[in-house]
Amino acid sequence: MCGIVGAVAGRDVVAILLEGLKRLEYRGYDSAGVAIQNAEGVLDRMRVTGKVRDLESCLTGRPFVGHLGIAHTRWATHGRPADCNAHPHTSHDTVAVVHNGIIENHEALRIRLEDLGYDFTSDTDTEVIAHLVHHHRLQQPSLWHAVRIAVSELVGAYAIGVVSTTDPGRLVAARLGSPLVVGIGVDEQFIASDVTALLSVTRHFVFLEDGDVAELTQTGVTIHDAAGQIVGRPIKKSEVSADAINLGDFVHYMQKEIHEQSTAIADTLEGRLSGHRILEEAFGPLARGVFDETRCIQIVACGTSYHAGLVARYWFEAIAGIPCTVEVASEFRYRRPVVSPGTLVVCISQSGETADTLAALQETKRLGYAHSLAICNVPESSIVREAELTLMTRAGPEIGVASTKAFTCQLVALLLLVIAIGRRHGLGLVREAEIVAELAALPVLIEKVLRLEGAIRVLAKQLLDKHHALFLGRGTQYPVAMEGALKLKEISYIHAEAYPAGELKHGPLALIDAQMPVVALAPDNELLEKLRSNLQEVRARGGQFFLFADTAANFQDAPDMRVVRMPSVGSTTAPVVYTVPLQLLAYHTAAIKGTNVDQPRNLAKSVTVE
């Protein structure tokens, strides 16, 4: 969602701030802005509705230099996209604030501040923070003190960076519920929403915890915890290189990340397989005892991660032999579930900062669930710190808003977990060895699918004039169909929905005609003949098929059916392999249409607000 960058240094920081914003563009935004303290000690600010390049253009040719500054990309929550609502927000030209999150009590604070004589020029919740800090700075000895008092009055979630002309050379940052990292340099310090923004200037980071308030100067960082005590947070060296977030020879990040999946899956498996078995040590030293006590699984996730959980439900019940329920985190957190003894809560999140998933995890602790495990792609994220056990995927940075390699790595991680749990419930050595062999074969199989890209691009051209599409799958392929429909709708803006193929006669058949393309998944498994019958129902009503089918399934091209022949794959790992052509289909449809593939309208990569 919104992106924050801040810097204090012995050199001009404007270029650093702008580069940081560019590296955060993948999060999604509608406006951008920057504020610096110039050589005269005055706050200089520029905000625009649009892209970071528009902000950069506005700064070209004008004096805009400073050693202290903050910058922001905004994704509208309170207030429409407009220059007046863009960050940074200021108060009396002395305090400037950037903010990610939602302040739930902003209306009450606004009334109070208006009574104190403050004028509001925006519709945002963030402006109350600027005025509140200014108000307290009038009575407090430093900006740090003012910020600490101000955040104590906020209800909701926030990550903020604050500068003030009254405290030159000082940047104050605070977080509660929204991510914020501190970058450690040589006689220069930085803040950002995530490490990718700062990889061009540092590889060393401190991850602030909820309630922390930090003061940054050129010479160092001081952090106080929620109780006001000075604390030392560990400095972590990021393993992500700056090159990892460059496009290379690809047109879009999404295309690059689709092609990185074989490597990402190999990395996720590395060190977690030994011969024909998985290594439980990958889940941490406490895992063995937790798995021994596990009697059922509760998965909570959002969006693409939710679809990964739906696939895993089939695996947990068919392979591990234990009950599994899957729920959208935003729904789970507001109902009153019955807690079954021995339930392991599995939270899935690419970013580890998804607000609803984090809140759901916290709710499971309050409700008394036995144990928790996070499957995540970002070390030191909030969900990783909150969970009892973790299994990190190794997808690497994912810049495109539409998740690709993170999803397939989540599926691989979940299957590792299924095997570990299944050992306690009757999964034998022979069956485990079969699944491990399927996992080990995945990188090669995905490379084979990627070689079908040219044929899939030809299919994509047939979707350009369509307004709707139907995706069909059975068994574990049904959640894959859901994921394929999501990918198509979010980046090409073609309405798409998925159904279990067996449900066609219960309603969706009414939609079938020559203008409704049907995308179907046909691996060679026990449901193939059932699916074949379902497809005949569609063909009899004039439907047009795009069919991704195992070569052994023996489907033939016809005027009403285009067949992409998939490599043979084991039935267990087929969902991973069949995901890839759907990603390519969505990508090429959007790329040919000319939509913004990596930053689709109205969407954000990391949903850190409710």
Known catalytic residues are 2, 605
Contact call for residues 555 and 549 (beta carbons, < 8 A): yes
First to last CA, the chain: 11
Burial category of 447 from C-beta neighbours within 10 Å (exposed 0-12, middle 13-18, buried 19 and up): middle
Nearest CA to 299 out of 365, 246, 372, 227 is that of 372
Nearest CA to 7 out of 160, 120, 153, 161 is that of 161
Rounded to the nearest 5 percent, the helix, strand and coil shares of the chain are: 40, 25, 35
DSSP state of 26: G
Q: How far apart are CA 477 and CA 3, in angstroms?
A: 36
Contact call for residues 427 and 297 (beta carbons, < 8 A): no
| Residues in contact with 313: Cβ distance below 8 Å, sequence separation at least 6, in sequence order | 299, 324, 325, 326
Distance, C-alpha 370 to centroid of its chain: 26
| Residues in contact with 75: Cβ distance below 8 Å, sequence separation at least 6, in sequence order | 1, 2, 27, 28, 29, 30, 604
Q: How far apart are CA 268 and CA 516, in angstroms?
A: 38
Q: How far apart are CA 253 and CA 454, in angstroms?
A: 18
What values do phi and psi take at 451, rounded to 5?
-75, -5
- Count of beta carbons in the 10 Å neighbourhood of residue 428: 10
Q: What are 35's strand-pairing partners?
A: 45, 70
Nearest CA to 181 out of 402, 385, 40 is that of 385
